[in-house]
Amino acid sequence: MASATEPVLECRGISKFFPGAIALDAVDLTLYPGEVHALLGENGAGKSTLIKCLTGAYRRDAGKILLDGEEISPGSTQDSQKLGIGTVYQEVNLLPNLTVAENLFLGRQPTRRGLISQRKMLTMAGDLLAEFGLRINPAEPLSAYSVAVQQVVAIARAVELSGKVLILDEPTASLDRDEVQLVFSVVEKLKARGLAIVFITHFLDQVFEISDRATVLRNGRVIGTRELKNTSQTEIVTLMLGRQLEDRIQDRAPARTGDTLIELKDFGKRGVMEPFDLTVRKGEVVGLAGLLGSGRTETAGLIFGAIQADQGEALLEGRKIGLGSPREAVAHRFALCPEDRKNDGIVGDLSVRENIILALQARQGWFRPLPKAKVNELAEAYVKALDIRLASLDMPIRLLSGGNQQKALLARWLATNPVFLILDEPTRGIDVGAHAEIIALIEKLREDGMALLVASSEMEELVAYSTRVIVLRDRRQVRELKGDEITTSNIVAAIADDTMAEAV
Amino acid sequence: MSAHVHSTFRRIMPQLIILIAVLFLNFLVFPDFFRIEFQHGRLFGNLIDVLNRGAPTALLCIGMTLVIATKGIDLSVGAVMAIAGAVAASLVVDGHSWQTALLGALAVGAICGLWNGVLVAVLRIQPIVATLVLMVAGRGIAQLVTEGTILTFVNPGLIHLGAGTVIGIPTPILIWIALGLLVTAVVRKTALGMLIEAIGINESSSRLAGINSRVLIVSVYLISGFCAALAGVIVAADIKGADANNAGLWLELDAILAVVIGGNSLLGGRFSILASLIGALIIQSVNSVILLSGMPPEFNLVIKALIIIAILVIQSPTVKHALYILRASAEPLPSDPIKEAKESPQ
C-alpha cells in the first residue's frame, strides 16, 4: 500500500558526528503517509539522535531531509513544528496546572477583540478532542486526567500544530495495557487521516501490534527496514542485537551446585515488576536476559532492597528475611554492583581506597572504624587480585577508567565477603581486557561456591558463564533455560517469544 | 603520620594565607594589634579579642561544616542560639544551678537539631526550606520562653561561661577550641567523617553501599543544634541576659560564610573543620580591622559582602577552569618530537 504513494518524509544519508564518536552514519529513512513506522534499536543505537536531527534539536552534519520532496533544515523544534513535524515525548511536555483547552491552544488562543475568548477556546477544544475519541471536560486542569489522556492531549496538540509527520518517542513507557489501547486507537485514527507516524518503543509486542514497517538502527547505522507483516520477532531481535548467532556449547565445568541459598516467592512490585519466583543455589550463576526495559535492572533492585517489593517473600537458607533496604540486604551478606556505575556505584570524590572499604565500613557502623593497617591491606590485596590499574590508592575513583572503576566496585563488595552477589551489566562500557577479566572472576567466584545473579544485555557473555538463564520480557519472567538449552539463539527466541506459547 | 600532617597543611594553606593577610592589615591600621598583656589574672589584647569574639561563629561553623558536607544547610542556628540562651537564662532565674541550665540548653539545642534532621532525612524536605521553618519560628519560641522580656540573671557560674577566664584565657576561647578538637577527633578517628563525605558526594551510591544515610543526616543536624545551643549560652552569659530578638541574629550567615571561606563546597563532600574555624577567625579579623581603623561600622557588612563575592568567584567552576587554562598555557609545553621534526625544515 505504501509504495503506491509518494513519501512524505525522506532522510537521505543523514550523518551526525560528536567529538570522538559517529552518532549517525549515513542513515536513510523513508516515511509514507498513512503508515506507522517503528524505529528500533538498543540504547546508543542512534534513535534519539536521528529524531533530534529531524526535529531541529541537532544540526545534521551531512545528508538531506526531504519533506514532500522539498529539502528542509529545521533550526529548532518550533521550526520543524511549523514545517509539519510534531513530536510527543515519554514524559508529557505539557503544563499540568493549566486546563486541557489552554494546553491545546497555548500560544495561539482564539481571540476576540484582542482578548482570549475562553468560550470559543473551550468549544474548539471539545471538538478537537472529540475527533480523537476523547470525551473529557476541556475546562478541567490537565492534571485531573490520567497520563494516557494527557498523552492523547499532547498528540492532539502536536497534530494540530504540525499535521504531516508525528514522532512518538516512547509514548507508552509509563502506561498500562488499557491505556496503551487508548493511545493506539488514536494512532489508528491518525493513520487513517494519512499522517506518517514514527513510533519509538522498547516493547516489541506493541511494535508488531501497531506498526506497518520497522527500521532497525545499530551503532548509528540502519541495519535494515522490514515490512512487519512478513517478519518474525526473532528476525527483528537479531537485527537489533546483531549477534552472530552461532550455537556454541560452552565447555563449562559441570555445575556442582550446592544447597539452595535464596528463594523468592511471588516477589514483585506493582507497576515495576510482575511477581516472580526465583531460586538461586550456592555455586550457581543465574543469568538475566532480556531487552532494555524488560525488567533486568528492576529484578536486581528488588532483590537488593533498592526497590522495595510490595508483595511476596524472600527466604535465605530457608529462613524468612526482610529486604526493605540495601542496608538490610547488605546485613544478609548480599551485594549489588549496579548498572549505572557513575550515579549508583562509585563515590567519585572519595579515594579508591575509601571506595573499596565503603560497604564493609558501612556494615560495621561508623563508630567501629576499620584500622588503617587493615584498610591498606584490604585495598592493596584487591588491587592486586583484580589487577586494578591506578597511580595511587589515594586518587579519587572518578579518575579511573570504566573497567577499573568496575573492578574497584567488585572489590568493594568482595571485601564484605558476600554469599550472594548481584551484578547488573558488569561489563558495560569497559575495555576488552577488563571485560575478559571480569568474566573470569565470575567463573572463579562460582567455583568457590558463591551464588551469583548476573543481568546482562550481552548474550554471548550470559551463555559463557550462566548455569541457568532466565529470560525477561515486558517486566515478566517468560522462560528459564538450563544446561544445553543455554544458547544465544534460544535466548533470542525467548525474547522474541515467537511460539507465543502462553496467552498474554 | 607526617604525610597526613602535610596534606592537612596543604588543605588549609589558602585559608592561612588569607588569615595572615587580614591580621597584617590589622597590624597596619593598629600597630599594637599583636601586643598581649597579662592584667588582673587575664590575658588582654586585640588578638585575644578576635579569638574571644569569634567564639559564637566558630562554634556554629563546626556543626555547619558537617551539615554542608552532606549537601545540606542549617539556617536555624541563629534562632537556636536565641532559644538556648533563653532556656539557660530562665532555668537559672528559676533557681536552678548553672550546670542544670547548661545541660537544659544543650538538650533543647539537640532537640531543635533533631527536628531539622527529621524534616530533611525522613520527610525529605529540602534542607534550606526545612531549616527555614525553625529559623523563623525559633525566635518566637525564644520569646515565649523569656515571656517577651530580656531575661537578665546574676548566676556567676553561668556568667563565667561567657565572660570568665580559666588560667587567664577567656572561657569562650577554650570552649570553641575544645569542641573543635573533639568533633574533629570524633569524625576523623571514627568512620563518621568518611561516611558523611560519601553521602554528600553521592547519596544514591552511598545508600546502595549500605550506608545508613538517614541516621547520619539526622545526626549532623543534631550536632549543629548542639553547637548552636553552646554558642547561645555563651552569648547570653556574656551579656548576662537572654535577648530573644537579637541573640545570634544573622549569625547563621556568618557560619555559612566561615564554612565557605574554609574552602568547603556548598555542594557537599570533602570537608575540613579546621579550615572552617580559620574561616571564622578570618571573619572576626575583618570585623576587627574595620573597628580598629576607625571606619564607621556600616562598612563591615559591605566589606564582608565583597569578601564573599571574591571567594565565591574564585570558587566558581568558570574561574577555576580559566585559571587552569592560564596555568597550563603559561607552562612550557612538553616537547613534542613529531611536531619539532615537522617544523624544523622551515
pLDDT of residue B312: 66
Same-domain check for residues A395 and A332: yes
Residue A51 belongs to a domain: yes
What pLDDT, on a 0 to 100 scale, did the predictor assign at position B333? 45
What domain range is A379 assigned to?
Answer: 260-496
The 10s digit of each residue's pLDDT in B238-273 is 999 999 999 999 999 999 999 998 989 889 999 999
Q: What percent of chain A has pLDDT over 90?
A: 35
Q: Best mutation site among A334, A350, A352, A355 for testing chain B: the one with the most B CBs within 10 Å?
A: A350
Whether B335 has a pLDDT exceeding 50, the answer reads: no
A141: DSSP letter = B
Average pLDDT estimate for A275-281: 92
- Residue A243: the pLDDT is 57
Mutate to test the interface with B, among A302, A328, A347, A422 (most CBs of B within 10 A): A347
Instruction: Pick B206 or A271 by higher pLDDT.
Output: B206
Say whether B123 sits in a helix, a strand or coil. coil
A286 and A405 both lie in a single domain: yes
Q: Are residues A466 and A325 in the same domain?
A: yes
Lowest mean pLDDT among A60-69, A390-399, B288-297: B288-297
Q: Quick check: is A103 in a domain? A: no
Please, which residues bridge with residue A38 across strands?
A199, A214
Arithmetic mean of pLDDT, B131-139: 95
Identify each DSSP E strand in A43-91 by its residue range.
62-67, 70-71, 85-88
Phi, psi of A156 (to 5 degrees): -60, -45
Instruction: Examine residue A255 and state whether it is found in any structural domain, yes or no.
Output: no
Are the Cβ atoms of B210 and A331 closer than 8 angstroms?
yes
Are the beta carbons of B208 and A349 separated by less than 8 Å? no
pTM over 0.80: no
Nearest-angstrom CA–CA distance, A259 and A419: 12
**Nearest residue, CB atoms, B192 vs list A326, A336, A366:** A366
Q: Tell me: the pLDDT tens digits for A3-32?
A: 457 899 999 999 988 766 678 889 999 999
pLDDT, residue A254, reads 52
What was the pLDDT predicted at A28?
93
pLDDT averaged over chain B?
89
Give the tens place of pLDDT for each residue, A422-437: 999 888 767 666 777 8
Which residue in the block uniquely carries the three cell numbers 569569634?
Answer: B54
Q: Is A23 within the bounds of a domain?
A: yes
Which of these, B169, B144, B168, B171, lies nearest to B158 by C-alpha position?
Answer: B171
Q: Do B204 and A343 touch (CB under 8 A)?
A: yes
- A317 and A388 assigned to the same domain: yes
Contact criterion met (CB below 8 Å) for A49 and A210:
no
Q: Identify whether residues A335 and A439 lie together within a single domain.
A: yes
Question: What pLDDT sits at residue A107?
Answer: 78
Kindly list the residues from chain A whose CB atom is less than 8 angstroms away from the CB atom of residue B210. Answer: 326-327, 329-331, 359, 362-363
Model pLDDT for residues B274-322, shown as the tens digit of each residue: 999 999 999 999 888 888 888 787 777 787 778 667 766 766 667 767 7
Residues A472 and A352 grouped into a single domain: yes
User: B131-137 long-range CB contacts below 8 Å, 24 or more apart?
Assistant: B131/B73, B131/B74, B131/B75, B131/B76, B131/B221, B132/B75, B132/B76, B133/B76, B134/B75, B134/B76, B134/B79, B134/B80, B135/B75, B135/B76, B135/B78, B135/B79, B135/B252, B136/B79, B137/B79
Would you state the cell numbers that stand for residue A47, as one nine-digit string?
534513535
**Is A366 at the interface with chain B, CB within 8 A?**
yes
Is A218 found in the same domain as A271?
no
- Residues A306, B208: C-beta atoms closer than 8 Å: yes
Indicate which of B7, B205, B207, B223 best probes the interface with A, i.e. most A CBs within 10 Å of its own CB: B205
Judge whether A284 and A467 are in contact, CB under 8 Å: yes
Same-domain check for residues A207 and A342: no
B281 touches chain A (CB under 8 A): no
Clarify whether residues A211 and A280 are in a common domain: no
Q: Are residues A194 and A80 in the same domain?
A: yes
Q: Does position B343 have pLDDT exceeding 50, yes or no?
A: no
Residue A218 has what pLDDT? Answer: 84
CA gap A502, A472 in Å, rounded: 14
Residue A501 has pLDDT above 70, yes or no: no
Q: How confident is the model at residue A163 (pLDDT cuts 50, 70, 90)?
A: confident
Residues in chain A with CB shorter than 8 Å from the CB of B209 are 326, 330, 347, 358-359, 362, 412
In this predicted structure, what is the pLDDT of residue A249? 43
Residues of chain A contacting B212 with CB distance shorter than 8 Å: 327, 362
Judged against a pLDDT cut of 50, whether residue A329 lies above it is answered with yes
Question: What mean pLDDT value characterizes chain A?
Answer: 85
pLDDT digits (tens, 9 = 90+) for B12-30: 888 888 889 889 988 998 9
A159 occurs within a structural domain: no
A477: pLDDT strictly greater than 50: yes
Of residues B11 and A334, the one with the higher pLDDT is: A334
pLDDT tens per residue across span B35-47? 999 888 889 999 9
On the question of pLDDT at B151 being above 60, the answer is yes
pLDDT of residue B329: 67
Domain count, chain A: 2
Asked if ipTM goes beyond 0.90, one says: no
Say which of A346, A362, A366 has its CB closest to residue B190. Answer: A366
Q: Does the distance separating the beta carbons of B211 and A362 come in below 8 Å?
A: yes
pLDDT above 60 (res A270): yes
Q: Both A269 and A391 in a single domain?
A: yes
Q: Give the domain CATH number at A67.
A: 3.40.50.300
**For chains A and B, what is the number of CB pairs under 8 angstroms?**
81
pLDDT of residue B18: 84
Secondary structure in 3-state letters for B216-239: HHHHHHHHHHHHHHHHHHHHHHHH
pLDDT range class, residue A133, cuts 50, 70, 90: confident
Quick one: A220 and A271 in the same domain?
no
Chain A CB within 8 Å of residue B266 CB = no
Of A431-440, A471-480, A485-494, where does mean pLDDT reach its minimum? Answer: A431-440
Say if A102 falls within a structural domain: no
